[in-house]
Chains A and B, each alone.
Chain A
Amino acid sequence: QVQLLESGGGVLQPGRSLRLSCAASGFTFSSFGMHWVRQAPGKGLEWVALVWYDGTKDFYADSVKGRFTISRDNSNNTLHLQMNSLRVEDTAVYYCARGLLVPVRGAIPGFYFDNWGQGTLVTVSS
């Protein structure tokens, strides 16, 4: 079955960097767009970033654009999130999620998320 296992979370100070990873198994990883979605403590869900199935395109929420970089290694079935210039408001559980693409407006796609990892906690605090 589909498994997604995140790692790399931790506690760090504002301005520092951290790299998260997500190991995928049980499906053809290179066929799916992959996402990071985060959840601040006691809060709702926020989409963070998307990397295209082949790694050629990546997209970000405005809240992380220019600071975070999503990438993937299809040879090792692994997803990454490089987080730089971390802020207190980036504190959250970070989930990797498999996205299912739906054409919603002609060629413009939408994604919903059919499989999620268990998440890894990132705490940014001075």
Chain B
Amino acid sequence: EIVMTQSPATLSVSPGERATLSCRASQSVSNNLAWYHQRPGQAPRLLIYGASTRATGIPARFSGSGSGTEFTLTISSMQSEDFAVYYCQQYDNWLTWTFGQGTKVEIK
């Protein structure tokens, strides 16, 4: 099983600031990586797939990068609705599609 490790566990950011989240895979997943965010009490929402392609309706302030084992999600200017928990997910390994443990982005 591919283990996905996200860092930091918690990130404190002021509104308007940039947020940078990291996700590391225990072995290469090529660019088969997605990012989601989850607001309290809500379902996850797809943000990025293919490591860097924004999903439909996702604002341009969200960007993804990386390949292989190291990935980054950047939110260029944090808005109030962006404070949430963020998960990465690899879909490279058949039937063992795994998520990271999450990064909580909170208001500083």
Contact = CB atoms under 8 A, between A and B. Distances in A.
B75 interface: no
A116 B34 contact: no
A107 B96 CA distance: 16
Contacts of B65: none
Interface stretch (B17-25, B38-46, B66-74, B76-84): B38-46
Contacts of B101: 44
B7 interface: no
B45 A112 contact: no
B92 A112 contact: no
A111 B43 contact: no
Contacts of A110: 32, 91-94, 97
Contact of B91 (A61, A112, A115): A112
Nearest to A114: B46
Q: Which of A45, A109, A115, A118 has the most CB of B within 10 A?
A: A45
Interface residues of B, number: 27
Nearest to B95: A59
Contact of B99 (A44, A50, A119): A44
Interface of A: 44-47, 50, 59, 61, 95, 100, 102, 104-105, 108-119
**How would you classify the secondary structure of chain B's contact residues: helix, strand, loop or mixed?**
loop
B11 interface: no
B102 interface: yes
B85 to A, nearest CB: 9
Q: Which of A50, A105, A110 has the most CB of B within 10 A?
A: A110
A118 B32 contact: no
Contact of B30 (A44, A45, A104, A108): A104
A3 B21 CA distance: 29
A116 B94 contact: no
Contacts of B49: 100, 102, 112, 114
Contacts of A108: 94
B98 interface: yes
A116 B97 contact: no
Contacts of B44: 45, 95, 113, 116
A46 B99 CA distance: 7
A106 to B, nearest CB: 11
